Chains A and B, each alone.
Chain A
Amino acid sequence: MASGAGGKVSFKVTLTSDPKLPFKVFSVPEGAPFTAVLKFAAEEFKVPPQTSAIITNDGVGINPQQSAGNVFLKHGSELRLIPRDRVGA
């Protein structure tokens, strides 16, 4: 799932609030702010971006105030999109 070619990184984001667990793989520039990635992912999954958060498969929260490249480096490419009221649950 991970690829660092050409200044772009890929993330496989799974929407865990949906029983079907749909996922999408996004290819985003390394320097893009992760807030934009979060918003893009939320829009793709048709959930409100203001009430969504991205966490790792281990349930570790990701601070969106960093670049996509940093997130990829720190947390990997397997991510989950959750509604914000379930953060930490």
Chain B
Amino acid sequence: MDGYGNGIVFNGSGRIIQPKRIPGTGSRILISIDRSGLLFALNIFFPEFKPLPLNFLVCGAVRCGDRVKVLSWENFADKMEDMFVAILSMLLVVALIPLYLWRRRQVPQSHEQEAQVQHRETVVRPTGTRSRMRRRHTSAASTSSAPPAAEETDDGSDEEALEGEYYNAKASKKKGRKKEERQAQRQAEEAARESRHTKQDRYAEIRRRKDEEHEAKERLLEEEAEARKAKEEEAAALEFEKWKGEFSVDAEGTTENEVQDGSQGLLYDFVEYIKKQKCIPLEDLAAEFKLRTQDCINRITSLEDMGRLSGVMDDRGKYIHISYEEMQAVADYIKREGRVSIAHLASKSNQFIDLEPKAAMITEEELGAQDEIAVA
């Protein structure tokens, strides 16, 4: 490797003072420097086959004054050419893209008037897509009517037309779908309404039938009940006829006179009877006046409250009538004596109170007011 020359680096480039072999342009030179080891240099300025000092660009961390030594090189002139061609083509492509875009914009403007006439009937679209849709439509229209020759020549408009056609078809499909959906919905609603009506009618019919059946049943029941009643009455009548022959009336009369005669003075008689008897068992009194014993007790109590009777009821079931005069006599005696023992009072009372029944007695109470009392 050695022998290609030594050089000195200054200002980013180096010079090989004494190259033994001069590498061609575009060669990659491997050089070494005495300080930092190996590094590469690219020589693109050295013309081929010219015995000129090699100028090279040194890459890496070199300083001015560093000594360099060429160790080897690679001839990459062809590669450079390829690279150059690739770069050029890239630049060309990059330059062509804006041109293409500019061209695309120029073509739709020429067909705008046609698109406006055709799109007056269409639905309002979003503004962002309107121009595109128009372009698509017009391009579709234009492509459908344009001769094949025009299509072949205009690649850009073809693509636009196709795209427009695609979008138009999509839009119309969507419109059609929506219309169909709406129609289907309407039909479904109508069908539902109809079915509801028929259902209601059916239910009303069923209800009416049930009511009729119910009424018929009730009528039947009523008729059965009436028939049963008539049958029972008939049976009872038959039985009555069977027994009627054996019934007889033994006696008849009215009880009106008895009641009326006694009704005026029955109470009076009751009171008088008690007064006469003085001491009478309540049961006998009840039997006499055809009352129940309890009724007699109640009558006596009521008469005492009314003031018609005065007396005491014995716990052995007797009533002792004591007139007011007799009671007054006993009271006077007690007042007179002032202080009297029960035994003495009892013995004295026997004198005042007469317990013997009277056959006929005219007392001050009898001569007193006699109220007319209706018999209960």
Contacts and interface: CB of A to CB of B under 8 A. Distances in A.
Interface of A: 10, 14, 19-29, 32-33, 35-37, 39-40, 44
Contact of B254 (A20, A35, A36, A37): A20
18 contacts: A20-B254, A21-B259, A22-B252, A22-B254, A22-B256, A24-B249, A24-B252, A25-B251, A27-B247, A28-B243, A28-B247, A29-B246, A33-B239, A35-B236, A36-B239, A36-B247, A40-B240, A40-B244
A3 B250 CA distance: 12
Given A33-B239, A36-B239, A44-B249, A21 B254 contact: yes
Contact of B240 (A14, A22, A23, A36): A36
Contact of A10 (B239, B250, B253): B250
Interface string B212-246: 00000000000000000000000010011001101
Contacts of B244: 36, 40
Contact of B253 (A23, A35, A36): A23
B127 interface: no
A37 B247 contact: yes
Interface residues of B, number: 17
A26 B253 contact: no
A21 B249 contact: no
A40 B254 CA distance: 18
B250 A26 contact: yes
Contacts of A29: 243, 246
B252 A33 contact: no
Interface of B: 236, 239-240, 243-244, 246-256, 259
Q: Interface SS of chain B: helix, strand, loop or mixed?
A: mixed
Contacts of A40: 240, 244, 247
- Top 4 A-B pairs, shortest CB-CB distance: A20-B256, A25-B251, A36-B243, A25-B250
A36 to B, nearest CB: 4
A81 B21 CA distance: 169
A19 B256 contact: yes
A33 B246 CA distance: 12
Given A19-B256, A37-B247, 16 more contacts: A20-B254, A21-B254, A21-B255, A22-B252, A22-B256, A23-B253, A23-B255, A24-B251, A27-B250, A28-B246, A32-B247, A35-B236, A36-B239, A36-B240, A36-B243, A39-B240
Contacts of B259: 21
Nearest to A49: B240
Contacts of A23: 252-255
A60 to B, nearest CB: 13
Contacts of B251: 24-25
A86 to B, nearest CB: 17
B254 A32 contact: no
A27 B246 CA distance: 9
Contacts of B253: 22-23
Contacts of A22: 252-256
Contacts of A20: 254, 256
A30 B204 CA distance: 63
A14 B255 contact: yes
A26, A29, A33, A36: residue with the most chain B Cβ atoms closer than 10 Å: A36
A4 to B, nearest CB: 14
Contacts of B247: 26-28, 32, 36-37, 40
B248 A26 contact: yes
Contact of A25 (B236, B240, B249, B255): B249
A32 B251 CA distance: 20
A26 B255 contact: no
Contacts of A27: 247-250
B367 to A, nearest CB: 35
A14 B252 CA distance: 9
Nearest to B253: A23
A66 B55 CA distance: 157
A14, A28, A40: residue with the most chain B Cβ atoms closer than 10 Å: A40
A50 to B, nearest CB: 9
A28 B254 CA distance: 21
A38 to B, nearest CB: 10
A25 B252 contact: yes
